[in-house]
Amino acid sequence: MRQILAAVEYCHNLKIIHRDLKPENIVFTGEGINSALKIIDFGRSKIIKHKQHITELAGSVLFII
């Protein structure tokens, strides 16, 4: 969980929002127990401008509800 939150924080510091974060978009980089995680599929991501507000819905339907 720490790795995922650190990755989200990193993206947010760069003004990038993923908009479709779900288990299917989190993958292990290897097979070992200490394998790092990566967030994938930034197809719905968006770069936010200064003080911009996002009002549109985005993401997978089952995870929006």
Active site residues: 20
Closest among 12, 19, 9, 4 to 63, alpha carbons compared: 19
The number of angstroms, rounded, from the C-alpha of 11 to the middle of its chain's C-alpha atoms is 8
Contact criterion met (CB below 8 Å) for 44 and 19 = yes
